[in-house]
Amino acid sequence: MLGYVLPHDNPVEEGRLGLLSSLLDPYVRFRLERLGLAAGWTCLEVGAGNGSMSRWIAERVGPSGRAVCTDLETSFIERLAGDGVIVRRLDVVHDPILQEGDGEGFELILARNVLHHLPERNAIIARLAVALKPGGVLAVMEPDTEMIWTCRTPEWVTYWEAFCAWSESRDIDYKLGRSLALRLSRAGLERVESYGETSYLQGGINTPTLAATGFYRDTALAIGPQIIADGFLDAPALNAFIRLLDRSDFRAAGYNFTLAWGHRAAATSG
């Protein structure tokens, strides 16, 4: 990997993560509730971003549980420490996973929008799977760009063709969502399921889908200069894409965010 492309010191990054939380948190909360998240669980979030899910998980598990919130950069989550959330810096590629819990594993590990940035994604899934307690669940959410191609507006297509070619050149997998269930199964997890959530954009400001539109605008502002510097796009094409998102008559589908989960085999009695 050539270096993480969305560092926290980017001026739009905290706002971009807030928009992403607005889009995805309700869906992820619904699924975790259906998976039985309850008081007393020991939980780990990997790549927590702004920590919105860790804060909610801490509320669900209560004082008898444990909510460990981790990221490679912790500047956005340090403010959560002491409010039922344990904040740790974690390099998920190299650092031990179990040291962040009680040494016996986790009932729940959540990794959201992390693995597509990391070439070691299969090895990480395997490491997270063995950090579960018997019967524990690993939930992983990642994007899939399939739905974006349903819009054929030229400014949209030009940007996304450049974005996808550029990300592939850096081994960033924006198609990862579609293969998550298979990857979890190959890591030995059981009862694997997978569902997708697609965000639809309505251009302009002050619209019902402002979070979706703002997220893609901020992502383009953050990543666009890198795509230009690497020769995959030019500044007029990036500006045309931004202007497209500002048009109130514009509609398009964004990523399909796929959430997959699987359980570690339950312990067998001797």
197: domain CATH number is 3.40.50.150
More confident residue, 170 or 98: 170
Give the model's confidence band at 151: pLDDT under 50 very low, under 70 low, under 90 confident, else very high.
Answer: very high
Q: What are phi and psi of 219, to 5 degrees?
A: -65, -40
> Average pLDDT of 225-235?
97
Q: Worst-scoring range by mean pLDDT, 100-104, 129-133, 185-189?
A: 100-104
Give the model's confidence band at 113: pLDDT under 50 very low, under 70 low, under 90 confident, else very high.
Answer: very high
- Asked, for residue 181, whether it belongs to a domain, the answer is yes
In the chain, what are the helix, strand and coil shares in percent, each to the nearest 5?
A: 45, 25, 35
- Distance of alpha carbon 135 from alpha carbon 58, whole angstroms: 20
pLDDT at res. 189: 98
- Asked, for residue 270, whether it belongs to a domain, the answer is no
- Asked, for residue 27, whether it belongs to a domain, the answer is yes
Fill in the amino acid letter for 211. A
pLDDT at res. 10: 76
Q: Is the pLDDT of residue 38 over 90?
A: yes
Q: Is the pLDDT of residue 11 over 80?
A: no
Cβ atoms within 10 Å of 198's Cβ, excluding its own: 16
Domain count, the chain: 1
Q: ∠ CA 220-225-231 to the nearest 5 degrees? A: 115
Residues 125, 183 contacting (CB under 8 angstroms)? yes
6 token code pair = 């969305």
Q: Is the pLDDT of residue 62 over 90?
A: yes
Give the model's confidence band at 1: pLDDT under 50 very low, under 70 low, under 90 confident, else very high.
Answer: very low
- Asked, for residue 165, whether it belongs to a domain, the answer is yes
pLDDT at res. 268: 66
pLDDT at res. 13: 85
> Average pLDDT of 162-183?
97
- Asked, for residue 158, whether it belongs to a domain, the answer is yes
Residue 45, exposed/middle/buried by CB under 10 A (0-12, 13-18, 19+)?
buried
List the domain range (segments joined by +) for residue 250.
13-263
- Asked, for residue 96, whether it belongs to a domain, the answer is yes
Q: Is the pLDDT of residue 3 over 80?
A: no
Residues 6+ apart with CB under 8 A from 188: 126, 129, 264, 265
242 token code pair = 């931004």
> Average pLDDT of 71-91?
92
- Asked, for residue 8, whether it belongs to a domain, the answer is no
Q: Is the pLDDT of residue 254 over 70?
A: yes
pLDDT at res. 99: 62
Residues 117, 1 contacting (CB under 8 angstroms)? yes
> Average pLDDT of 110-114?
96
- Distance of alpha carbon 28 from alpha carbon 33, whole angstroms: 9
pLDDT at res. 211: 82
- Distance of alpha carbon 70 from alpha carbon 9, whole angstroms: 17
Q: Worst-scoring range by mean pLDDT, 6-15, 202-211, 244-253?
A: 202-211
- Asked, for residue 4, whether it belongs to a domain, the answer is no
Q: What are phi and psi of 117, to 5 degrees?
A: -85, -10
Residues 25, 50 contacting (CB under 8 angstroms)? no
Q: Worst-scoring range by mean pLDDT, 7-21, 42-56, 206-220?
A: 206-220
